[in-house]
């Protein structure tokens, strides 16, 4: 599974989510790509201050203050399919 993490350079919440994702990778099989929304005017306009945003394709797993428990619940549900 490949997820997308929308971030920005000066985002402490983004940094915390990255750490949580790295810990989750010891339990779940997934990759993620970090995308800096400030590098793309369209993404910046669309997502603005909502980062971090974790996506599975078009499915928004979490946004803003991302609760690691919610991410684990999502990954568990996907893994069980």
Angstrom distances, CA of residue 69 to CA of 10, 44, 46, 49: 24, 27, 26, 22
- The CATH code of domain 2-79 reads 3.40.30.10
Contact 72, 24 (CB under 8 A): yes
> How buried is 37 (Cβ within 10 angstroms: 0-12 exposed, 13-18 middle, 19+ buried)?
buried
Please give the average per-residue pLDDT across 8-19, as a whole number: 94
pLDDT above 80 (res 75): yes
pLDDT above 90 (res 79): no
The DSSP output letter for 58 is: T
Q: Which residues neighbour 36 within 8 Å (Cβ) at sequence distance 6 or greater? A: 7, 8, 9
pLDDT digits (tens, 9 = 90+) for 21-65: 999 999 999 999 999 999 999 999 998 889 999 999 999 999 998
């Amino acid at each position: 599974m490949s997820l997308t993490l929308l971030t920005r350079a000066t985002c402490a919440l983004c940094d915390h989510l990255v750490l949580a994702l790295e810990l989750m990778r010891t339990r779940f099989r997934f990759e993620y790509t970090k995308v800096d929304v400030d590098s793309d005017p369209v993404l910046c306009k669309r997502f603005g201050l909502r980062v971090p945003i974790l996506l599975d394709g078009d499915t928004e797993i979490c946004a803003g203050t991302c609760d690691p428990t919610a991410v684990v619940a999502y990954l568990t549900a996907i893994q069980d399919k």
